[in-house]
Amino acid sequence: MVPTHVKRIKAGGVSEWGEVIFEIDPHKDPGIFLSRFSNWAARYYLNNPGTVSVVMNPERLIPLQNNNPRFIISLTNLGVAFIGNPKRRTFYFVNTDLADRRYVALLEEAFIRVMRIDNDGRTVIAKSPGEDEGASLEPV
């Protein structure tokens, strides 16, 4: 169960959990979706340092743009923009079975740590700056 006090940005969908602080419909605003989202997010992060972001299923946006390579790069750049900023923590949850391989490859190349969660709950550290790369975490 998700706590009702969690602040979130809603980008389409029908879910009603949490406190929606910004809503944008990628179906209605496909041409300006990323610019509206990134401008709003940059202002929010500036005014709310220490915000932890959890991005869920961004790969669902790519088919709305007809798998346009420019959109894939722009969507990837949203996450990459905060790499190296010690005040930012962002976690991406991407369904790699549904995601465009180009998008997954760009994320894996750019991000510092990549973890894969199998259907059985087993987690493998696929990429890490430390010596834990390749380590497996078992569900408890």
Instruction: Set out the domains of the chain in order of their start, with CATH numbers.
Output: 7-137 (3.40.50.11570)
CA-to-CA dists, residue 38 to 34, 69, 82, 97, 98, angstroms: 6, 18, 12, 26, 24
Task: Note the pLDDT of residue 2.
Answer: 67
pLDDT at 23: 92
CA distance 99 to 111: 16
Q: What is the dihedral of CA 101, 109, 93, 125, to 10 degrees?
A: 110
pLDDT of residue 86: 76
pTM, 2 dp? 0.81
DSSP state of 31: T
Q: Residue 64: CA atoms inside 13 Å, Cβ hemisphere, count? A: 17
Amino acid at 118: D
- Mean pLDDT of residues grouped by 10 in the chain (140 residues)? 82 86 84 86 89 88 89 85 77 91 91 88 89 83
Q: How many residues does the chain have?
A: 140
